[in-house]
Structure formats: C-alpha cells, structure tokens
Structure 1
Amino acid sequence: MEKSTPLITNDAVVLGILLILLGFVFKTSSSDNPFWRKFYSYVPSLLVCYFLPSVFNSLGIIDGDHSQLYFVTSRYMLPACLVLLTISTDFKEIIRLGSKAVIMFLTGTVGILIGGPIAILFFSYVAPSVLGADSEEVWRGMTTVAGSWIGGGANQAAMKEVFLVDDNLFSKMVTVDIIVANIWMAFLLVGAGKSKLMDKYLNADASAIEDVKNKMEKYSASISKIPNLSDLMLILAVGFGVTGFAHLVSDWIAPYLLENYPGLKQYSLTSGFFWLIVISTTLGLILSFTRLRELEGAGASKIGSVFIYLLVATIGMKMNVLAIFESPGLFLVGIVWMLVHISLLLIVAKIIKAPFFFVAVGSQANVGGAASAPVMASAFHPSLAPVGVLLAVLGYALGTYAAYICGLLMQFVSR
C-alpha cells in the first residue's frame, strides 16, 4: 500500500514539533505535580519521548520516512553525542564490566538465529494460514529481518540480494522489522526504569555497573562548574569536529574498500555509517585520556544527551503502529520470533545472573544496532553508552554470517 502524504512535510516545522514534545516531557517529568510524579514513576521519560512522535506519525501528521531528520540525527548528532559521552569514559571501568556483556550479546544473536526457524515451525503446525500458501516467499523475506536484527541495514540489504527477495515483500518485511523491534525497545525502556527490580528477579549482581555510574557521577561532581560561552563552544567544537573528521575518513575508507575489496561488503566493512560510528567512538575514547576529559565538568554529557533524545524522537517518528493491521500474519511471525529472542536472553541472564543492563543492551546491539544500542545504554547512565556502541559494532561483524545461517535453517524447516 502506498503511503499518503503527511499533513506536515516541512522538516523545520517537524523539528519544532519534536522539540516541543521533548520540552513538554522534560517539563512534566521534573514537575512537583502529584499526577506527573506518579505517571513518570511508572513510565520512563525516555519512553514517552519515543512514543509521542510515533503517535503523530501513526495519525499521518508527520512521516518519519518522508522526513530527513532521522538522517540528520543519526549521521551528525549520533556520532557527536558518542564523542561527548565517551570523552569522560573511565575505560578501565568499562573493561571491568567483564564477559557477561559479550555473553548476553551472543545469546541475543543465537535467539534471533533460531527464532526465525522456530516461528515458521510454530505457525506451520498451529496456524498454517498465517504463513499463507507461499511459505517459500515468507522465509525468503524473513532473511532480511534476520540481517537487520543481528547486524544492520547493510546486512539486511545483503540478505535481500543473497536470497532473491522481491521489492514488494521486502517493503513488508522492513515494516515488520521496524514495528516489532520498536515495540520491544519500548518494553526495554520501561525495564531500564525498573532495572533494580529486574536485577532482583534475575538474582543479578549489578555492583560493577553501579560502580561505573557512581565513579562517573563523582568525577562529574568534582570538576563541575557553570559553563560559559567558551566552554559550550569548545564542547560543540570537539563533538562536531570529531564528527566531521569521522565523516571525512569514512567517506574515503568505505569507497576504497568497496572498490578494491568488494568481498568485505558482506561484513558491512564497506558501509560509510559503520566507519562513521567506529571512528567517532574510537576518537572519543582516545580523547578521554587527554585534558579534554574535563569538558564533562562543563556539561559535555548533558549536551550529548540532548542529541540522544533528539535521535530517540526521530526513531519514534518512523514507527507507525497502524501498519500492523496491513499484514497481521507477518507481524505475528515477527512477534513469535522476537519472543524466542527475549526468552533465551532472560533464561541465560537468570543462569549466569547477568544484570538487566546486559539483557537490554545485548538485545539492542543486535536488534537496534549502532543507532539504538547507545541510546539503551544511556537510559541506564550516559557513561555506559560506549558499551552499547562496542557491542553494536560486534553485531555488524557477525550480522551476515548469522543471518545467512538463519536463512538456511528457515529454508530447511519450510520444506
């Protein structure tokens, strides 16, 4: 079905609406009003910032696909905020978080890898009509979702070509991918606001994560000052200066690798966005060993968080909950698939007593990639954003391998 033109197409107006929504959320979340205090005790403010733009999108007032704002926030503000959030990182403390982060990430990967075949088997026995007459078409289309949920857009495109998915089916699968993944992200954001309760359920020791958060807060307090105009300009100069350099280098590396080593495309190594994220994060971590680390005292992470919230709003703007009713069968398959991923994550987390932080970030590093994994990590604390980035980069590396294996398994169970 072709999408109708949204009521508002001017991005300047859309940006104004998004900022008004964010302003409303932050004003009410810091209010002493009993209603708002109770409301935000149940619903995290980050989730509201994500959900309100999706309502406007679903009602046809704005359209995330029509707007260029997501491109701007993901290509300019995301790398800048990664620099500003990582510039004060205590790298030794991040390393001390240990192996549980990687274990939960790999568990999430396996959950998606086996979830697709399990979802197909489930419906082939319980409700064959959901898959329809052409199960061959369904499993081929689902390989693109596997590529996206384990790696990212480049891996998704690779699966489209490898398994010969036609454009019409591909567009439906992209919708399934976005809606199901974003619904799960909403639940994770709620869980982030109740992380201590979730950790208690998982019998998890979150002391290492709390140590990172507490040390970061103490460090920020020790160097805190009222920023002047010079401080703010320097923060923006560092954030966007590194972003500009990362764009410059990625614009050279990606085409060079594509031309000279085309086989690397299947590993996302020819993706400009991949190198943009890797370079900006790496430079942010390098700068954390310099005196620029003291910019945290002038509010570097706060400005980075502003960019994060704008990114969240533009991600929410791409979600149209009404699209579920256009292909309900495919969405049911996607939901069962995601439930397998979630169940495996929770089972393993319970066994190894992993904190909910690792469940949420391990999942989003797979399902959401570099755009949402640091957002999820920042929902726990801005200083934890690098964990999300590092795991998301690992997802890019594994994406094509795991998605291809998942595709073969789905082909096998569809016979």
Structure 2
Amino acid sequence: MITTSFIYVTALLVIAAMLKVLENTTRWRLFEYLPAIVSLYFVVMLCSTFGVWEKTEEINNAYKMLRNNLLPAMIFLMLLDADLRQIKQLGGRMLLAFFIAAVSIGIAFVVAFALFQSYLQPEAWKTLAALSGSWMGGTGNMVAVQLALDVPDASMGYTLLIDSIDYAMWVMFLLALVPHAKRFNRWVKADSQILEKIGANIELEDEQRPVNVGGLLILLASALLMSALAQSAALNLPTSSYFTPTAWTVLIVTLAGVIGALTPLGKIAGASQLSMLMLYLIIALIASRANFAELTQAPIYIILGLVILAIHALIMVLMAKWLKLDLFTCGVASLANIGGVASAPILAASYSKALIPVGVLMAMLGYIIGTGGGLLVGKMLSFIAS
C-alpha cells in the first residue's frame, strides 16, 4: 500500500503514461470507445477501490496542493492557444444550449423526485434542491441553497455522494463520447464545419511552431506564477456563497490567458503539450479520490442521480435533434452546468484547445443562475413532497 506522496504521484503518472503508450502503439478497439484519458479515470478509480494507496495526511495534502495549483496553470496554458476571433464564429447557439441544459436539469430533478419520493427520507427534497443548485452552477450555489433552505450539514451526506459518484460517471461518459462526435453530428444534421475548421487551424499552427526547452521553461514558469498570483489575488477579493475564491481564481487566469494569447507569450510553442500533461495528472488525481465501493452505501440515491442524468441526457438529445446542435455544444453546455469551471474546460479541450474559453465562460454563467435555479427546483420539490 502506498503511503507517501512522492510514490502516490509517481504511480498516477506511470498509469497515465502506460495507457497513453498503449493507445498510441496498439490498435485496440477499446481506445476508440474509451480514449486513454477516460481509461485513466477508470483504472485509477479501480486502484483507489482496491486500496493501492492510503489516504494519509501526506497524500491528502499532495492531492490538494497539486489539484488546486495545477488547474489554474492548466487553464492559463490552454488559453494561450485560444483565438477569440474564431470563437465568435460559434454564435449564440452556445448560450441557447446552456440554458436548455439548465432547464432540462431542473425538469429531471422534479421528475426523478416524483418517481423516487416514496423511497427517500421526508426532508430529502431539501438536499436534492441543494444538489440541483450545484448541478446548475457549482459548489457555492449548493451552499447558498443549503443555507437558504436551512439544511443541516448532517443531512447532506447522500447528496454529496450523488454529487461525487454520479458526476464522476457523467464526466467519464461525456469524455468517452468525444470520438463519436462526427457520427452524432451527422445524425442530428448539425453543421460541425466551423468546429472542425477551428480545430484544424490550431493543429496547423502547432505544427508550424517547433518546441524547444527554453520555450517550455518560460511557459511552465509563467503558468505556475500566474496560478500563484491568481490564487493570492482571489483571497483578497470580495467573496460570497455565489462567488467563491475558486471562481475568482478561474476568472483571473482566464482573463490572463486570453490577454497572454495576444502577446509574444502566446507565440511560444509547447503550451498545448504542457497543458495536456497537467490535464492527465489532474484527471488521475480526481479519480484517485473516487471509490467503486461507495456505490453500495446508498444505492437508491446513486440510482436517483443516474435517473436525473438520464432524463437530462434524453432532453438534450431531443433538443439537439430538433435544433441541430452538435455534440460539442451539448456536451460542454451540460458539463458547464453539472461540472462547472473545474471540468467544462477539460471537455472543451478534448475537442479543440481554441474552445477552452467557451467552456470557462459557460461554466461562469452557471454561478449566476445556479442559486436561483436551485431554489426554484426546491419550491417544486416541496410542492410534490407535501
């Protein structure tokens, strides 16, 4: 059993490296459905379940330190390749998809609660209302709804379990769908030429810029410095249950990355490679805290969460077919609500690095509507419960 932070991080990197090598060197059809980055989540989660590492204080501290510091650095690096002029071509369909996703999540909570009410505790509607705030915005919104409805912390256990387990499954599912984007877009008759053009332009620019050690050092130093400065500044800015220090940090590095892309820093090759390395480590870190054994602790609540996601997915697919929305638009709109700023940019990056700002901006919208949406869902759930 691993008990030290250095071996813990090394193990995560070894697993990531082995999966990526297998994906690049073999022709296993598995990787067509579960790309290395998705397989990484599953394999690391499996290792966590079998207790390959112990959650010692040293490992817990390493997890928090790396996740909290690398996420802003990764977003900054990814945004250095962003071209806002290309993003403008996406138009208002992204906003439309975001609000469709938010409304469908609200509907899904109401329908699922009506189906499962007899199996739940009497006050379960309050904790589910708090969860709906999180799945329309973020953790800050969940806390705000919890406070507004006077939900005790002790009652939030099952809600947090749904938020972690079902959310993890949803992220893995959306990442696994990325290779099938063209097939989905053909089925809904979506025009994906703009997305493909943006992705092709970014890849062409990367090929034309050679990577060198000096440039990598500059980029790495800049990203880590920006992460440190953003987190320091966030602690000194006004916060609330709506806008947390994490939200400030993401906003600051987003602005810094967009501005940096317009400077000579944005011309240095290697930002995409460094950001992808960080992405693999962040995915592994998140998966290392999950545990398949937790699925047996509250099966009704886990199933309830899956039903909510299934209803949400069904509505999104129907709307995509009607409005001819591509898979990227639907996926990022969904994860911007359910996952927020920590995961929407990751999914966006799996399509094209140029689309990172779209994921960030859509996730930030969630903070605006999350609390109001959660309270509205809570009102409807209370009506059903009474």
TM-score (normalizing by structure 2):
0.95
- Are positions 1:329 and 2:322 aligned together? no
- Are positions 1:68 and 2:61 aligned together? yes
> Structure 1 residue aligned with 2:42, among 48, 51, 57?
51
Contact 2:79 2:354 in 1 (8 A): yes
Pairing of 1:2-151 with structure 2 (within 5 A):
7-31=1-25, 33-34=26-27, 36=28, 38-62=29-53, 67-124=60-117, 128=118, 130-131=119-120, 134-135=121-122, 137-151=123-137
Q: Which runs of 5+ in 1 are unaligned?
A: 1-6, 259-264
> Structure 2 residue aligned with 1:318, among 265, 289, 306?
289
> Structure 1 residue aligned with 2:226, among 227, 242, 267?
242
Q: Distance in 2 between matches of 1:11 and 1:234?
A: 27
Contact 2:198 2:352 in 1 (8 A): no
- Are positions 1:225 and 2:210 aligned together? yes
Contact 2:82 2:356 in 1 (8 A): no
1:370 maps to 341
Shift of 1:65: 9.7
Q: Distance in 1 between matches of 2:258 and 2:166?
A: 33
Shift of 1:11: 2.2
Q: Which runs of 5+ in 2 are unaligned?
A: none
Contact 2:202 2:353 in 1 (8 A): no
Shift of 1:64: 7.0
1:262 maps to none
Q: Which runs of 4+ in 1 moved over 3 A?
A: 62-66
1:3 maps to none
Instruction: Number of aligned residue pairs: give it.
Output: 384
CA-atom RMSD in angstroms: 1.7
Shift of 1:69: 4.2
Of the structure 1 ranges 67-76 and 99-108, higher mean CA displacement relative to structure 2 is found in 67-76
Contact 2:3 2:56 in 1 (8 A): no
Q: What secondary structure sits across from 1:318 in the alignment?
A: coil
Q: Distance in 2 between matches of 1:402 and 1:162?
A: 13
1:285 maps to 258
Shift of 1:226: 3.6
Cα gap change, 1:13 to 1:214, in 2 (>3 Å): same
1:349 maps to 320
Contact 2:3 2:55 in 1 (8 A): no
Q: Equivalent pairs: percent with the same residue?
A: 26
Contact 1:378 1:384 in 2 (8 A): yes
Contact 1:63 1:317 in 2 (8 A): no
